[in-house]
Chain A
Amino acid sequence: MSDNARNRLLLALSIVMAAIYLFPLYWMYVTALKSGSEMFATPPTFWPSSAQWRTFAYVWESRNMGRYLWNSTVIAFGAVALIAILGTGCAYVLARYRNIWVDIGLFLILMFQVLPASLMITPIFVGFSQLGLLEYPRLAVILAITAKSMPFFVVLVRATFMAVPMELEEAALVDGNSRIGAFFNIVLPLARNGILVSAILIFMQAFGEFVYSKSMIQDIQLQPASVGLNSFMGPNTSEWNNIMAYATMYVTPILAIFVLLQRRIVSGLTSGALK
């Protein structure tokens, strides 16, 4: 078999595998477009006979999705901003030095990273309610997400800083820059892309966060889209086309960002988790 034919066969095979793997995603989009009776047809149709685009407008209006998505965005932006401000400097110091204290710091970071949110929510909820922080539920969720996700950000960004040659910073110091000047003028611009990709990853996680929001935000006006989706899915629901339309509008922006930045996100992820 020639190389060309072999490549084409492999490509076809891998597309089939990707199609099987991504079928749930396809099923979400197809169900969202089906009419109320078509989605319960047996055998199920794999292509909507007449696409119901109105479902999206109906769900957007009736579930008040604009408000949910706005809350998700506020929470995700707040968390990412706080994480980037606190985490970037931390990652820089942990990348710049090699000593026992850095090892201890990295170990602590890792321990904080692995704590499951569903286990941490009990003490965080009780503590926040005693401090009166639950009066500002979105702020409380932002703080909780920051504590949960910052370690991951530090690990990812530290890998980026490791790739910045130290000689450049030393040269800037010799030229008369202060440490602050060298950090902001030389090191930070060189690590900008890595920081940006890590921040986007954190944003996508925070955009879908559920445990903390579900437990700490009682006021429906302030709840994010994940909690809204949860309350949309009652135990005996039959509105699956509407639910899938909700899910579609929730997840498509994230998927668009992912497909656009796929290569960078994948390489950023792998450098953080294993190195």
Chain B
Amino acid sequence: MKRVFSSITDGRGFDLVLVGVPFTFLLALSGLPLLYNILMSFQEVDMFSLGSVIRPFVGFKNYVDLFTQPETMSILRNTIVFVVGSITGQFLVGFALALFFWINFPGASWLRGLFLVSWVMPGLVVGAIWNWILSGDFGVLNFLLQQTGLMSGNIFWRSDPNFSLWAVILANIWLGTSFNMILLATGLAAIPADLYEAAEMDGANAWQRFWTITLPMMRSTIGAIIALGLIFTLQQFDLFAAITDGGPNNSSNVAQYWAWDLSFRQYDFGKGATISVIMTVFVMFAATVYVRSTRHEVRG
């Protein structure tokens, strides 16, 4: 007993306790739910069987049912549009801003940091603000678009099925741009300056320098940021709750919002778990890509 105690205060046991307790916690509150999710996706779980662990086992019925439901395909398509649209927008705007702020001038780093307010704001607040900006009759975005002559009539961003998903994408691009920009700026700062000096001596113009030095040197950063973007877009929930609520008629519904909706509005926890299992596989795939592109740094 005494030896165990002294190992904990002054030896190997100290490290094991420090790392063992948090990992036990994480395995209990993230690992177990993950497995429980898989179990529930093969069961019928509703309000009545919520309390018992032994529930009717239905095999692949939840999976088969989901893929025969008419809305499934459109929701999965929405998810892909949402992910691709958000990541493309965030990355392009973020990269452009990062390149601009890469030019060194007084105040650059402070102003660049200011962009990050979008990232620290609660998602519900961001959603509420965009909900108001995108309002059809009185929204300021419609007003600005008409003033600049980009369009003539009002777009009903939230209630028009053709635009509702794009309303959320727009808000999500705003939300994620700053994060992309800050991380890309870190990557740009790590490129050795003498590469550019050498290229300039050889007569390469700005465009050639960008394609032959900046992009190749940024490859692993860009890979990591795209993977992070995928992870963050698949986590996005608050904006849907605050702007369109998945509607109208599922036109802006995506898988991660649908999973919650199935469980907590339709009380079909089995189906909610099924969608969650499928999406978790995608997220873990993205995480593996992220690890691969930052591997040299993770191993340190």
Contacts and interface: CB of A to CB of B under 8 A. Distances in A.
Interface of A: 6-7, 10-11, 13-15, 17-18, 21-22, 24-25, 27-28, 31, 39-40, 42-44, 86-87, 89-90, 92-94, 96-98, 103, 105-127, 129-130, 143-144, 146-148, 150-151, 154, 162, 178-180, 183, 201, 204, 207-211, 214-215, 225-226, 229-230, 233, 235, 240, 243-244, 247, 250-251, 254-255, 258-259, 262-263, 265-266, 269-270, 273-275
B288 to A, nearest CB: 9
B30 A226 contact: no
B121 A255 contact: yes
Contacts of B107: 11, 14
Given A178-B9, A251-B121, A28 B129 contact: yes
A110 B276 contact: no
A122 B286 contact: no
18 contacts: A21-B115, A25-B129, A40-B138, A89-B19, A97-B15, A98-B300, A113-B287, A115-B280, A116-B235, A124-B29, A130-B51, A210-B241, A229-B125, A229-B242, A240-B138, A251-B122, A254-B122, A274-B221
Contacts of A112: 26, 30-31
B114 A22 contact: yes
A94 B22 CA distance: 12
Given A211-B260, A262-B116, A103 B128 contact: no
B110 interface: yes
Interface in B230-265: 231, 234-235, 237-238, 241-242, 245, 256-257, 259-260, 263-264
B133 A230 contact: no
Contacts of A17: 97, 100
B29 A147 contact: yes
A154 B106 contact: no
Most buried by A among B30, B256, B260, B273: B30
Interface stretch (B57-65, B84-92, B179-187, B199-207): B179-187
B138 A250 contact: no
Given A126-B50, A270-B186, A179 B111 contact: no
Contacts of A275: 294, 297
Contact of A122 (B120, B259, B294): B259
Interface string B116-156: 11101111111011111101001010010001000000000
Interface string B12-41: 001101110111011001111110110010
B11 A7 contact: no
B224 interface: yes
Contacts of B237: 116-118, 210-211
Contacts of B121: 25, 208, 251, 254-255
B75 interface: no
A118 B276 CA distance: 8
B53 interface: yes
Nearest to B49: A126
B269 interface: yes
A260 to B, nearest CB: 12
A146 B25 contact: yes
